[in-house]
Chain A
């Protein structure tokens, strides 16, 4: 008897995730679309994907259900979507790491180029090179010069992430002794640089701490400048040959009907370029960066190749 309440909750939750039965084939979409998010509920990728879904379902006329499949830095979700039915009813909102970083390092059970059709890119947090406010390094050059005479430690969100690989390549090209210290998530790496436990950190979400004067921004890892800090150079502007572009985009399994892809691209692009979405993302502290499916595919291809090179150099 005392289990009625809990069983009912369980039952309701069960019903909520049961996909509704398919109805006769009419013009796409005729039933709810599932948008898989490879991270847990409540993170920035999840929140922005949910907003995207809520706004796009008005255009597409069918509900878009966000399903979180966290784990293994996003590769679990990518693998499951790669093998999903290519009917346009299973999509994924994905990021750099499972698209071109992890696949460059080891077998992940899917091919990010052959198994997916990119639909569009709509965001991507800038990753900054930050040092504590009392650090002796004022510029990226000074940091690298400093690392030539003695080891400089830098923290990132995790081992073999894009930021780590980018700096590993910088270290190799310049001969600087940059010692990587991987943390469990970007916020721990940020805490470590604030506490002075590492000399620098390569992390997103640095805006408030830099504006507060607690951290100093030396540069960004992306291909373009952060509009909030136009003076912080990209690695390329600082004379280094790498970059770590951050993407947040939507992809469909390979084999999806091009007409469906076109319809989704136009709907999602319409949402991403709206003022409401821009306001929402600004509040979230995330940029809106729109790229067509074709450009996203090119970015992934280019970086996959670059990261494979870096990984090879690191001895993987």
Chain B
């Protein structure tokens, strides 16, 4: 199986897809203000006509490239392309001001690759066993798992818990539109046939993450990056010994990234800051952190790259995405006929293992292209996003239309764009909204299926070891969150 999957990768188109993905990811990620979620959302429609393997590899390449690209603008300009590279910017920018920008970027690059390889190995080890186990996840287990997932997003997603809760509920309300999953009758469709299908994920995604960015930039004339001097980039190198010295930091950060990634809905910002603090507290010289410590760059980068592999575990095994990016990738999997769940590995094992191996091997082109792009990247970071807005708009409209060849989806995309714009201006986080929208329909369906099979008895939600474990986890998370909020002095 592994060899067959590897042979699938020996194809010119797979290589082209990986390279195109990584390069466009690095470039998009390096532009301040444009992040990996938007890059993937925009590129999904481009992959429609491709074979599943190159299509997914292209999207994962974009993601990996964009995460690294984000650290370029974080290090050189102190403008993190994504919230998850905010932790990288602390020490990275300090190093860059000292003239060590090149070294900081190399540390970021190598740490990213190590985080990615680590989490990918965990993914390969865990996803298939978990998928087998997925047969034991009946409606009641799925319902409790989703309660836990939604709770985790609200409690530990960072930022205001109330904001996150509101966003999850807005997403869930949008998820109600369409055919009732149990009785099959139309709900909130206002007699329109187009609404019967509900709001499609991909147009909503493109609207929320790409169109809203266009509107935000169009109305917000303040440029993200002024004409600030970019610190000089001296030629430099990172020796293997230096990485070896921080092996424990890299290992622990990758571990945090991977396992926080497995928890649904948290995303990569929290683990990046978690591993930054851990690296500082373990360091012999904690005062160096914040003033340009290489470990301060390596720790968050290893963690935020490790999140992808971890987040793909529940996404592929159970169909529950770990964060906004895996939600987008989930959409791409479904679109290419690779439905997550217990049969994914049986029916599409070849494709899935080829994709895993590509994720692992793509570290090689990422390092090569990353090193090549340092010099170019300085120029890329000076690109004003406003020059790209017309192109993004066209791609967004084209992409939304091409999902179902339906104009209705274009209106949904534009509506989601305006909504996303308003919410972002009001500082509401968008990922909880997306997860709410994705999980609302399956949660409702699982809950009602469970009640149908139990004849209306609620005992089914604590009727198996899995549900009891999930209920315990839910209660534990609530308790932890309550404990910390009570201990924190009120301001």
Contact = CB atoms under 8 A, between A and B. Distances in A.
A185 B383 CA distance: 46
A197 interface: yes
A182 B139 CA distance: 11
Nearest to B454: A153
Interface in A193-250: 194-198
Interface stretch (A39-47, A273-281, A295-303): A39-47
A100 to B, nearest CB: 15
A198 B138 CA distance: 9
A197 B197 contact: no
B107 to A, nearest CB: 25
Interface in A116-141: none
Interface stretch (B174-182, B282-290, B419-427, B428-436): B174-182
Contacts of A180: 452
Interface stretch (A2-10, A25-33, A49-57, A252-260): A2-10
A187 B339 contact: yes
Contacts of A69: 404-406
Contact of A71 (B28, B341, B406): B406
Given A10-B394, A179-B453, A3 B135 contact: no
**Range of interface residues on B (Cβ < 8 Å):** 35 or more
A159 B453 contact: no
B270 interface: no
A185 B339 contact: yes
Nearest to B452: A181
Nearest to B196: A72
Contact of B193 (A72, A182, A187): A72
A308 interface: no
A42 B336 contact: yes
A10 B184 contact: no
Contact of B391 (A7, A14, A17, A106): A7
A113 interface: no
B404 A159 contact: no
A1 to B, nearest CB: 9
Given A6-B46, A13-B49, A69-B404, A159 B139 contact: no
Interface of B is mostly: helix
Contact of B453 (A16, A17, A158, A198): A198
A270 interface: no
Contacts of B186: 106
B402 to A, nearest CB: 7
B43 to A, nearest CB: 7
A70 interface: yes
A187 B340 CA distance: 10
Nearest to B138: A197
Given A76-B193, A160-B184, A6 B43 contact: yes
A59 interface: no
A216 to B, nearest CB: 17
Contacts of B52: 42
Q: Which of A17, A188, A194 has the most CB of B within 10 A?
A: A188
B342 A109 contact: no
B138 A192 contact: yes
B184 A182 contact: yes
B337 interface: yes
Interface string B370-411: 000000000010010000100100110010001011100000
B46 A13 contact: yes
A151 interface: yes
Contacts of B196: 72, 75
A198 B46 CA distance: 40
B24 interface: yes
A67 interface: yes
A158 B193 contact: no
27 contacts: A2-B28, A3-B388, A6-B42, A6-B46, A7-B395, A10-B394, A13-B48, A42-B336, A43-B337, A68-B405, A69-B405, A71-B197, A71-B200, A76-B197, A76-B404, A158-B184, A159-B179, A180-B452, A181-B449, A181-B452, A188-B341, A191-B342, A194-B342, A195-B136, A195-B138, A196-B138, A197-B139
Given A5-B20, A184-B181, 9 more contacts: A13-B46, A13-B49, A13-B398, A40-B335, A72-B179, A72-B197, A160-B184, A179-B453, A187-B339
Interface of A: 2-3, 5-7, 9-10, 13-14, 16-17, 40-43, 67-72, 75-76, 79, 105-106, 108-109, 151, 153, 158-160, 179-185, 187-188, 190-192, 194-198
Interface of B: 20, 24, 27-28, 42-43, 45-46, 48-49, 52, 134-140, 179-186, 193-194, 196-197, 200, 335-337, 339, 341-343, 380, 383, 388, 391, 394-395, 398, 402, 404-406, 441-442, 445, 449, 452-453, 455
